[in-house]
Amino acid sequence: MKPYRGRIAPSPTGYLHLGHAQTFWSATQRARRAEGTLIYRTEDLDPQRCRAEYSQAAMEDLRWIGIDWDEGPEKGGDYGPYVQSLRTDRYREVLELLKMQRLAYPCRCSRKDVMESAIAPHETGDEPIYGGTCRPPLGQARRFDPSSEERVNWRFRLPEIENIEFHDGGFGSQSFRTNSDFGDFVLWRHDDIPSYQLAVVVDDHDMKITEVVRGADLLKCTARQILLYHALGWDTPDFFHCPLVTDETGERLAKRTDALSLRSMRESGQTPEAVLRQFQH
């Protein structure tokens, strides 16, 4: 078996909350029980929402509750850089590989266009299933002039009908169907930012992650990412998704839930032990 390598990957768009703490604590404990290596990665691809102060606060607040890591932005390691905004050239390299395989194609559809042409209803908060307006015929490349000023999204071409099945360490057997549960998804945004789906697969492969521990809201993303692993000929890591933490109304915690942020708890005088007890039972 490969040596265990896990990771925690905060996005610095706000202060971390109790739900993040629970997931990152689970990731830490699984790495330690396996006598493995834990990697810290900063997922800061969105320049409009990510801020350096949140990045620093995340590391401080996680260390406050007793989480530490072996590789990361401040510690270094053999597989850096551990900050996504410093890895754009690598993501672009992989995008070009997918273009060469004709698995990535340019899409001129706006979000409104996608909503209006969706091939199936979508749940609130979930993305509509792309109807394939810009998808070229199978085996053909869509004509696109990169010198033009027109900005496009690059989408991943899904298999027509395929069941993506995997075993999740937290939620058991999972199955998602292409073009039914999700459609051709964005790899590279029109504002020249790589998508989460592409970046996280490249990072986890390059950093030799053997198990991905994250929240249950990303279960469907796992099916998308497995397709990318297969397309690129890369080994797929194991997955372990954690239950989401909700507030008193039953709503999933968000970074705007300031009262339950680690920073607010810390400043209010709560102890790390009191915070950990909230999700250890």
The pLDDT value given to residue 123: 53
With a cut of 60, say whether residue 125 has pLDDT above it: no
Pairwise CA distance, residues 176 & 202, whole Å: 22
Average pLDDT value for residue range 227-237: 98
Q: Is the pLDDT of residue 247 over 80?
A: no
Q: How confident is the model at residue 237, as a pLDDT?
A: 98
Q: 205 Cβ partners below 8 Å, 6+ apart?
A: 229, 232, 234, 235
Half-sphere exposure of 186 (CA within 13 A, CB side): 19
Measured CA distances, 16 to 22, 58, 224, 251, 274 (Å) = 11, 6, 26, 16, 16
Of the candidate ranges 9-18, 126-135, 145-154, 200-209, the one whose mean pLDDT is the lowest: 145-154
How far apart CA 60 and CA 53 sit, in angstroms, is 11
pLDDT at 76 over 70: yes
pLDDT in the model for residue 131: 83
pLDDT of 227 > 60? The answer is yes
More confident residue, 247 or 281: 247
> Residue 124 — pLDDT band, cuts 50, 70, 90?
very low
Q: Average of pLDDT values for 23-36?
A: 97
pLDDT tops 70 at residue 221? yes
Q: How far is the C-alpha of 233 from the C-alpha of 223, rounded, in Å?
A: 16
Alpha-carbon distance of 52 to 156, in angstroms, equals: 31
Q: Which CATH superfamily is domain 87-206 in?
A: HUPs (3.40.50.620)
Instruction: Assess if CATH 3.40.50.620 describes domain 1-85+246-281.
Output: yes
How much is the pTM? 0.91
Task: Determine the Cα–Cα distance for residues 274 and 255; give it in Å rounded to an integer.
Answer: 20
Residue at token pair 């250890």: 280
pLDDT at 86: 97
Residue 252: what pLDDT?
67
pLDDT at 232 over 60: yes
Tokens of 73: 């932005």
Q: In 3D, which of 104, 107, 52, 88 has the Cα closest to residue 194?
A: 88
Q: What is the mean pLDDT of residues 136-154?
A: 69
pLDDT class of 255 with cuts at 50, 70, 90: low
**Distance between CA atoms of residues 138 and 198, nearest Å:** 22
1-85+246-281 with 87-206: one CATH topology? yes
Tell me phi and psi for residue 147, to 5 degrees: -85, -10
Q: Of 260, 244, 263, which Cα lies nearest the Cα of 252?
A: 244
Q: Which residues contact 5 (CB under 8 A, 6 or more apart)?
A: 31, 36, 37, 39, 207, 208, 209, 210, 211
* Beta-bridge partners for 106: 154
Domain ranges of the chain: 1-85+246-281, 87-206
Type of residue found at 149: E
Percent share of the chain, pLDDT over 70: 86
265's tokens: 């708890």
Query: How far is C-alpha 80 from the chain's CA centre?
Result: 18
pLDDT digits (tens, 9 = 90+) for 162-189: 999 999 999 999 999 999 999 999 999 9
Mean of per-residue pLDDT scores for the chain: 89
Average pLDDT over residues 214-218: 95
Alpha-carbon distance of 235 to 281, in angstroms, equals 35
Q: How confident is the model at residue 222 (pLDDT cuts 50, 70, 90)?
A: very high
Is 17:60 a contact under the CB 8 Å cutoff? no
What percentage of the chain reaches a pLDDT higher than 90?
Answer: 71
